[in-house]
A = this chain, B = another copy of it.
Amino acid sequence: MSSPPVSRREFDALFGRVRSWGRWADAGRGAWNRVTPGHVLRAAALVRTGNVVPLGRPWDTASGPDNARPALHYMSDLGDVEPPEPSTHKDFIGADYHGKAVSHLDAPAHVAYRGRLFDGGPARELVGAGGARFGDVAGLGPLVTRGVLLDLPAVRGTAWLEPGEAVHPADLTGAEAALGVTVGEGDALLLRTGRFRRRRERGAWDPGAASAGLHVRSVPLLAERGIALLGGDGDSDVRPSPVEGVHSPVHTLAVAAMGVPLLDNLDLEALSAACAEAGRYAFLLAVAPLNVPGGTGSPVNPIAVL
């Protein structure tokens, strides 16, 4: 499962190979430009049972090894602030949502490499205290496209991938063959490693120290396929990083080189069961991030519709 480390030189070559800068007029939307109305129609045609499966984890207000910045949830009215009738119950939510606990979308503005955002603009000038002026989540808008689940533990017949296990190109193509699905242009690829099943059975651990995820050498395959979105139950990157001096190489290639937004920390357990039961691993995926101007992403509750 382990593989020789990746040099910074090789990494930079990979970056150059998958880079899709200068391709789209509305560059801030990155690879979501790949998704045309035709892709939406194709996704709608996949709806056959009407089973709607949410992929968002519970809003997690408890700190822990995988939740260094717990989300906030406070009741602002319990029917005793605003006068009845009716009485109303209200709440405040808040989150520094990037991290390992909140199901969220990374917009193109989230990641820069060597000071450059996707499409080459200088991060320091384009992102400030007021937010991002390029690649923000409000500019992305929502996405409806075909989702494909590569359920790696299901393919391997294991409960989960162990933290630290890297997913290589052969794992991806093997999963495609085993699951009868082929990732293609405009797809949203979801990778299940079984993280949250393991968490439920073994307890929480620090995913920054060890996570199953994609090896950086798997990214060119995804680039060739022309995916629009990459997500999973981790944050896509295998950890520790196999690339010296680059803590999140898959983030770097996907977001900064390819303009592919990421979905991190999805709970894919119910989707795994639903796909197994339905005997198919492609479905309509809808992602509707909050409309935050300048935002580098958003907490989300993506839905798969089978």
Contacts and interface: CB of A to CB of B under 8 A. Distances in A.
Interface of A: 36-41, 44-45, 47-52, 54, 56-59, 62-63, 67-70, 72-81, 83-98, 103, 109-115, 123-124, 127-132, 138, 141-144, 245-248, 251-252, 256, 284, 286, 288-303, 305
A83 B115 CA distance: 12
A290 B59 contact: yes
A301 B290 contact: yes
A296 B127 contact: no
A286 B303 CA distance: 9
Contacts of A37: 49-51
Contacts of A284: 44
Contact of A115 (B87, B294, B297): B87
Contacts of A75: 74-75, 127-131, 296
Given A124-B79, A131-B75, A41 B52 contact: no
B290 A302 contact: no
A112 B291 CA distance: 29
A208 to B, nearest CB: 10
A85 B244 CA distance: 10
A288 to B, nearest CB: 4
B141 A73 contact: no
Contacts of A40: 47, 50-52, 305
A124 to B, nearest CB: 7
Closest 9 pairs (CB-CB, A-B):
A37-B50, A94-B94, A40-B50, A74-B74, A44-B47, A63-B63, A78-B129, A80-B128, A56-B291
